[in-house]
Structure 1
């Protein structure tokens, strides 16, 4: 088995991991159920991608967003790693061929939505795959206490029934302690290793201004900080008004 640092260097051109990444990767390689709570940009995807590359077989990745799946698959493919996503709009024959490729074509990653997982054909073919890891991205979607609860996530545990000996990794950037406990329960985790990275960012600051003339304040800020900026507002109408201003 190739060492995780060698894989990191080969595909990502880094020579060392960020805090908690290596611990999470090693736990996954050793067959532990793993929970990864890291801020956006903290390198969560490497935590399941590197163990999957280190072991024989394919990693099943559950992801809620087509754009997210396509982006991660493209990044992997650009690195010369065989990955595919089962997105919407596929014909039965296309789906059939792609699933066969996952069984016989030495693919390392199969990205699917929780809804796609409910199809009998998909479940049947996953039974035939040499699955080395199950990764649940945006895992807070499984919890009714989470911000983006998605009912289909409740049925992800079917993967644990199909491949009871395969360990699982849940990943999210947003989960309260209550949501973490709920995710662990819903996925039938067994003595999971939980890795929490601090959400503190030294380059970010929060300030609140109570302004009578918001447009004047916006203009002042943009003149002082000339780099690109993002202005969030409550409606499309306000977006157009501020853009026009």
Structure 2
């Protein structure tokens, strides 16, 4: 039986204290409750998590949320538990014993949300338990990771189709902030949608000011912004070394700043993230490993020291500013020699077509596959 309109509004009011949904949120929720496979394209900060949390709380059963980020899982689980909603997360940071307990709680307990990394879907422990869970919805966050055309392809996401076979009749809600038409088609195909179904929210962010400054004194421009715009911010640099240097520079200028990158230990990253979320650190200087799925509504500025690899990545990273709807600034700093540097990097990362053809032919020859055969 589909919950009536007042049921979803009652759920929204009871757990979040809101009386209205944002544009398209209600449409997505109704689509899910009707049992339709749905691809939801919503901007960063558009309230994606409510679109699977509300329908799950409005009826019996639990929701499995597939997400690539441990930081996001922890953040979401903490937030749900703070609202007295039972939620667990399974990721590489847990011992096998802890994972077993969490999965058993999903089978026998009152857990409403199970957050899981895509890599975990293939494990024996997960496969044996999931068929015994009362699953009402499968939510796939950062769904562009499923597409080879997306800017963050993760092969482990392709296992979600296998998971669907174990959960017949359970609808899937795929969520992303950026998907071109080929990516959207790819997502729906790989997730075995019963029929194509896309719901789009407006991507306009009227409170966010985008600007590009051409300067050879990036530190000076950064300092000007930091001194003129109150509140917390993120500064994206391309290298780990760059994050440390820029954070040092800001600290020397009296700005509480920390560096965040993949070279830090897990505990150190978690500590720095916590200090930034709590406001102890004002500016986080990071590689693009930081920020995905982190929900800090009052970020007043995002500064890019270097251009991103794609417009989608830029939109997603810049969009971490101003999620509370108040005025915020996205600033891209471009030096005179940046374009040459980017062209060189592009050439290093992507070999010329002739080289690709040569490697392809060598691989086909080694595997004794006819050139042009061996699709998939």
TM-score greater than 0.5 by the shorter chain: yes
Q: CA shift at 1:211, angstroms? A: 2.4
- State the alpha-carbon separation in 2 of the partners of residues 100 and 229 from structure 1: 40
- Provide the residue aligned with 2:306 in structure 1: none
The correspondence for 2:80, drawn from 51, 76, 100, is 76
- Provide the residue aligned with 1:109 in structure 2: 113
1:199 aligns with 2:231: no
Q: CA shift at 1:181, angstroms? A: 0.8
- State the alpha-carbon separation in 1 of the partners of residues 93 and 158 from structure 2: 23
Q: CA shift at 1:239, angstroms? A: 1.6
Secondary structure of the 1:59 match is: strand
Please show how residues 1-245 of structure 1 align to structure 2 within 5 Å.
Answer: 1=3, 3-235=7-239, 236-237=241-242, 238-240=245-247, 242-243=249-250, 244=252
Structure 1 stretches of 5 or more lacking a match?
Answer: none
**Residues 116-144 of structure 1: CA deviation (Å, up to 9, x unaligned):** 11012211110011110000011111111
- State the alpha-carbon separation in 2 of the partners of residues 90 and 227 from structure 1: 35
The 1:13–1:239 alpha-carbon spacing in structure 2 relative to 1, beyond 3 Å, is: same
Which stretch has the larger CA shift, 186-195 or 28-37?
186-195
Secondary structure of the 2:63 match is: strand
- State the alpha-carbon separation in 1 of the partners of residues 169 and 232 from structure 2: 49
Q: CA shift at 1:227, angstroms? A: 4.7
Which stretch has the larger CA shift, 8-17 or 119-128?
119-128
Structure 2 stretches of 5 or more lacking a match?
Answer: 254-376
Aligned residues: 245
- State the alpha-carbon separation in 2 of the partners of residues 114 and 224 from structure 1: 42
Which stretch has the larger CA shift, 212-221 or 85-94?
212-221
Q: CA shift at 1:228, angstroms? A: 4.4
Higher relative contact order (CA 8 A, sep 6+): 1
Q: CA shift at 1:103, angstroms? A: 1.1
Q: CA shift at 1:39, angstroms? A: 1.1
The 1:116–1:207 alpha-carbon spacing in structure 2 relative to 1, beyond 3 Å, is: same
Check the 8 A contact 1:32/1:192 in 2, yes or no.
Answer: no
Q: CA shift at 1:167, angstroms? A: 0.6
- State the alpha-carbon separation in 2 of the partners of residues 69 and 202 from structure 1: 29
Secondary structure of the 1:60 match is: strand
TM-score under structure 1 length normalisation: 0.92
The 1:107–1:232 alpha-carbon spacing in structure 2 relative to 1, beyond 3 Å, is: closer
- State the alpha-carbon separation in 2 of the partners of residues 87 and 212 from structure 1: 43
Check the 8 A contact 1:27/1:193 in 2, yes or no.
Answer: no
**Residues 68-111 of structure 1: CA deviation (Å, up to 9, x unaligned):** 11111111111111110112243333322221211111211111
The 1:223–1:131 alpha-carbon spacing in structure 2 relative to 1, beyond 3 Å, is: closer
Q: CA shift at 1:233, angstroms? A: 3.4
The 1:63–1:213 alpha-carbon spacing in structure 2 relative to 1, beyond 3 Å, is: closer
Supply the RMSD in Å over aligned alpha carbons: 1.9
Which stretch has the larger CA shift, 155-164 or 222-231?
222-231
